[in-house]
Amino acid sequence: MDFLPIGDYGVVGNLETCALVGRDGTVDWWCLPHTESPSVFAGILDPEIGGEFAIQPADEFESEQEYVERTNVLETCLETSRGTATLTDFMPIVGEQQTLDTAEHALYRRVECGEGSIELDVELAPRFDYARAETTVEAVDGGVLATGNDEELFCQSPVALDTDGSTATGTITLDEGDTVWFVCQYGERGRLDDDEAAAMLEATTQFWKGWAHHCTDSERCLFYGPWHELVIRSELVLKLLMRRETSAIAAAPTTSLPETIGGERNWDYRFNWIRDAAFTVQALHELGHATEVEDFFAECLARIAEGESGRVEQPFYGVDGEELPDEEELDHLEGYRHSSPVRIGNAAGDQRQLDVYGELVLAIHETTQYSETLSEENWTVLRDVIDHVCEVWDKPGYGIWEDRVDPKQFVYSKVMCWAAIDRALTMAEATDYEAPIDEWEAVRAEIEERVLDEGYDEEMGSFTRSFETDNVDASLLRLPVVGFLEPDDDRILGTIEAVQDHLATDEGLVYRYDTDDGLDGEENPFVLCSFWLVDALALAGRHEEARELYTDVLEHATSIGLFAEQVDGETGEQRGNFPQAFSHLGLINSAIYVSEGADPRTPTPIGVDAPDGTS
């Protein structure tokens, strides 16, 4: 069996987990019951043994995918020489649709014949625990039951499926107007008739349409422009990656999709990175999602409170706040297009990443600007964090990109420590809460002096990746965004030019850095960094250039508006875990930066009319 291009997948989910559905009609990735749980289908990492759920024409066919407008309901259109069919995939939203007797974790697959006649092959091959557990598949009343690893998956089927003990197969022929339903339920065996399944589809569709951004006045919409639909798609992707109860966001729903085909840069991203916080808060607030902003505020404070004496114990957490599993390699899986190792867990959780403090405090500061009030109890926790930053800011660390080489004095990390102290001083002034103002101001000034002295290269005319090197790094594009220097400062303009000269492709795609990171092979341009260049250009007043670059980067989205972590610099194909929260956060925030007359550094308080006419 062949590997599909990463960009040939769509994603569906229920705010607890996600599944990837290929344009060939195959579910090739689904972890249960949660995003970070072991997989039941992992064909994207190993088509032979990983497991899949395929519904596809028996004859040669062409296909294309699209989402039902403003939803995460995915349609795959299949066409043969004899007929057409539409495969509709979705998951009911956990906690939102409990009127029917069905499992919390269920994948619905409706097949509807549009024209002529079409014969479809069905193959259900679950493989529990990343295909490590022995899985038994047997025919039962109304479908098939898969068991293994003390788990079960029941698939309701409109046609009898034959089983060989591990896989169920069958064939069904549909004529014009025929509609059938397949329903996979994890841990339960509820039975639904066609009308009940159709009602679930309608309820799911209405949930997403009711949640998604809606313009009442396009001329006042901050996101109005040719990219408007891509902004909405990105918003819907972010919601899919959020845990329902906390709004904590997984960086991606997948593991080990490679940054380079055949290489070792294959990581597990199914966790909640703290540094995503500030980006998430800004993006979702501007789209009118106050509840998610408030939930994220509480989640950020919870992570702070877990630290000892203000220390953030780890740069990312399980999406439910649980402890991280150890990094492990799954040698029995060959990896996407033979890219190994396949990893679960992420060893970077043990790294010191000082920029996290800045991102965390920025998120809290931005949230207080939007809606939340910082209580005195929370301020006490935050004050301990800033005191800790004052003690450790000059220590070496691993940086935002989680290098697997010796720690360094990364310039971006130092600037984010500066930003943490700077925003804490702002909040102290606004609240009159007790704080060692003089001490904090002195440390902030010391960080600034050292960054300007050791982190700026006069000969290059640019800030550098670290105090120890003279390489440039795309994270430096964030310096004007966090207010370290004015956007039109010559040192910022020189850094923008250095990034364009050393890290950008002719198409405007931007690499993260151009130096050794302790790993074999090379990576590809990083989508978020491309959007950061857009932001820096816009802040520097180069609006036309920023808009042109933004439009060029958007051309690399998949046909249904999704982005992975990276884009292959030669082929334009998606690379890395998919879809990637960072990429879609960047897309949304850059839309704010390129909007005419917008100042993305000035939040609109909730309760005041937002630019799109909502509040």
Confidence at 604, pLDDT banded by 50, 70, 90? very low
The pLDDT assigned to 272 comes to 85
Residue 589, token pair as written in the block: 């925030």
According to DSSP, the β-strands at 26-31 and 18-22 are antiparallel
Q: Give pLDDT tens digits for 338-372.
A: 999 999 998 877 778 899 899 888 888 888 877 66
Residue 86, token pair as written in the block: 């539409």
The pLDDT assigned to 273 comes to 83
Which is higher by pLDDT, 429 or 248? 429
Domains of the chain by residue range: 6-211, 229-594
**Rounded Cα–Cα distance for residues 5 and 22 (Å):** 9
Which is higher by pLDDT, 289 or 519? 289
**Rounded Cα–Cα distance for residues 56 and 538 (Å):** 46
Q: Give pLDDT tens digits for 407-446.
A: 899 999 999 999 999 999 999 998 889 999 999 999 999 9
Amino acid present at 450: R
Q: Residue 447: CB partners within 8 Å, gap ≥ 6?
A: 393, 414, 415, 417, 418, 421
* 323-334 average pLDDT score: 91
The pLDDT assigned to 329 comes to 97
Which segment of 95-104, 155-164, 186-195, 231-240 scores lowest on mean pLDDT? 95-104
Main-chain phi, psi angles of 161, to 5 degrees: -110, 135
Pinpoint the alpha helices (H) of 272-399. 276-286, 290-306, 355-370, 376-392
Q: How many CB atoms lie within 10 A of CB 431?
A: 15
Report residue 407 CA to chain centroid gap: 26
Phi-psi region for residue 601, left (φ > 0), alpha (ψ -120 to 50) or beta?
A: alpha
Give the distance between the most distant pair of CA atoms in the chain.
78
The CATH number, out of the four listed (3.20.20.70, 3.40.50.300, 1.50.10.10, 1.20.1640.10), of the domain defined by the range 229-594: 1.50.10.10
Residue 204, token pair as written in the block: 């799911």
pLDDT higher than 60, residue 19 = yes
* 20-31 average pLDDT score: 98
The pLDDT assigned to 2 comes to 83
* 250-262 average pLDDT score: 95
* Unique residue bearing structure tokens 């808060």: 281
The CATH number, out of the four listed (1.10.3720.10, 3.20.20.70, 3.40.50.620, 2.70.98.50), of the domain defined by the range 6-211: 2.70.98.50
Confidence at 168, pLDDT banded by 50, 70, 90? very high
Q: CB–CB of 573/593 below 8 Å?
A: no
**Rounded Cα–Cα distance for residues 260 and 225 (Å):** 33
The pLDDT assigned to 351 comes to 77
Q: Give pLDDT tens digits for 118-134.
A: 999 999 999 999 999 99
The pLDDT assigned to 11 comes to 98
Residue 141 CB burial class (10 angstroms; 0-12, 13-18, ≥19): exposed
